[in-house]
Structure 1
Amino acid sequence: MTDPLAPLLELSGVAEAAKNAQDSVFAVHRHPANLRGGSATAAEASVRAARASAAVEGGEPELPEEGAVTDPVLAGALRVAEALESLLPTWRRAPAQALARLHVLAAADLVADHDSLGRPRVGDTDEVGRRLELLAQLVTGATAVPGAVLSAVVHGELLALRPFGSADGVVARAASRLTMIASGFDPKALTVPEVAYLRRSRIYRATADSFAGGEEEGVRAWLLFCCEAFEAGAREARGIADAAAS
């Protein structure tokens, strides 16, 4: 059976960038603070990822010093972050169900019609449903490309589709994070590429749009950008681990 994503590794620089990203992430997993589990690093990474993801989406990234989170985007991103570990088995076997649950959590405070939560948009040709099914096939074993590449594709495709019409960016970044864990790319969820997406938000949006266009150079630019973000996320994780070890 032909691997539908294998041609991506032939794009200039992509295979090397994916390997560099994987090496950077594995180095974080070998940090002394993470060798015995890395739970402290993972917990801090999860919160930083949620805050950055909310900020990319236009939400308030700062946690209140006391009281409940009132910003609806941040509240949703934090709920998503808290649920990722429990959603991992569902993501591995039934990604569409996991995506629906991610949307329920992310958009609960953003939509007036709660019956629409977790339900992908349906168009005249149901293009969204068809592409989500193809994405589910990739996640559940239809490709053997490195985790960095698969995570970038999941991320970019969900940004392009905007399948729910609300909180789609938070859902896309969470799905990419799930893919990083499930593929073995970042099995302990230690890294924080979301911070790089926020710091380089203009390039993030531009390359995501290029990926959505489907042209070879646009897809390549997105994959390379994501691999750079994965490396930056590993550096962020190293800083967290260094602090935990000090």
Structure 2
Amino acid sequence: MIGRIKATLPLAVVIGVLALVWTDVALNFTFHWVTDGDLGNGLSLPSNFHLVVPAAFVAWGFFFAAGADTAAFVKVVIASVVGGLAALGAMAAASATADLPDFWGIALWVGIFATVLVLLSVLGDWHYVPATFGAFASVFFWWTATGLDYWAPDGGGVGNGLEALSDPATAGAGAFGGVISTPFVYVWLSITVSLLCGCVLGLLSVKLTALVTPRSPAEAEAEVVDKHPSHSS
């Protein structure tokens, strides 16, 4: 048990520090740095493009599930983009098929795109279905939280400013009284960028752990031998 803790501790500490940094940067970016007006409570109105803290953790987890190496990084990056684009298509198609209050259009297109995403696995190992589903679901989750824009007319708000937020007709249907109401295209963009940040965090966590992990004498000796092989006469 002690040996396992010692072996895991460097990675755990690196991930903890990176998680702290990401959460602080993402929340400040969204509610302090890139914003559209002071809410009067110490926070500011997020812009249409913002960073979504939990989305990065989704991709970060799939990076480790895929093998936690460069190949895994590439797989999850592709999955984040493909899954995000599939969700964008599903949001648009579902809203055009049947808008509020009918959910059958959403259900129909989610089913269609889910089928397509699984079928794409025949193209090769580069298409990592679990992470693609994770990206697809992340976009849909944030779409729901931010007002189901397009399916719900003006659900993402009309204009993004304090004046629009003050009027229920233009505030949108997003959480916190419309504070995070977001047009559906920006939902896709914000989540996709946040997922890609998670991919980078995953790769960084492995690379930094390798730098700070103490090596045993045997490992150090093996590295020296690899760099300076003996030459027989």
> Normalising to structure 1: TM-score of the pair?
0.28
Structure of greater Rg: 2
> Normalising to structure 2: TM-score of the pair?
0.30
Structure showing greater relative contact order (alpha-carbon pairs closer than 8 Å, 6 or more residues apart): 1
